[in-house]
Amino acid sequence: MRDDIILNKSETIKRCIARINEEYDGNPENLNDYRRQDSIILNVQRLCEASIDIATHYIRKNKLGIPQTSKENFEILEKNNVITEELSSRLQGMVGFRNIAVHDYQALNLKIVEKVVEEYIYDSLKLARMILEK
């Protein structure tokens, strides 16, 4: 399914991933540098927002329901076999991370930031690919 909104959001995600990788540089010690840390966290937030936007757009366009929370976007996509259960769960976890980072619910644990950077940031691209293949 060619969709300019999803394609544009995918490009945003790619830019965020590139910036995260540039600042992180494969070295968890870079998270101790506040400038790098801020840039990394900001770009994780942006890619998470772009993922939510992609999900919301697809759900609205295909009349799959009305999500009440950001996490519910991914639950709806999962229930409608648009994305896998595993990807849904991982993206919901990213939303939880974003909520902590944005709303400062608690101090960010740098080990969690490290795990997000090393294991989760590419999930947003998987989401875009799965939707574009529909």
**Residues carrying an active site annotation:** 98, 103
Give the pair of three-digit tokens for residue 18.
């590139």
Whether 29 contacts 113, CB under 8 Å: no
Neighbours of 33 (CB within 10 A): 13
Q: What 8-state DSSP symbol labels residue 29?
A: G
End-to-end CA distance of the chain: 6
Give the pair of three-digit tokens for residue 80.
């409608």
- Collapsed DSSP state (helix, strand, coil) of residue 63: coil
How far is the CA of 121 from the CAs of 12, 53, 129, in angstroms?
13, 16, 14
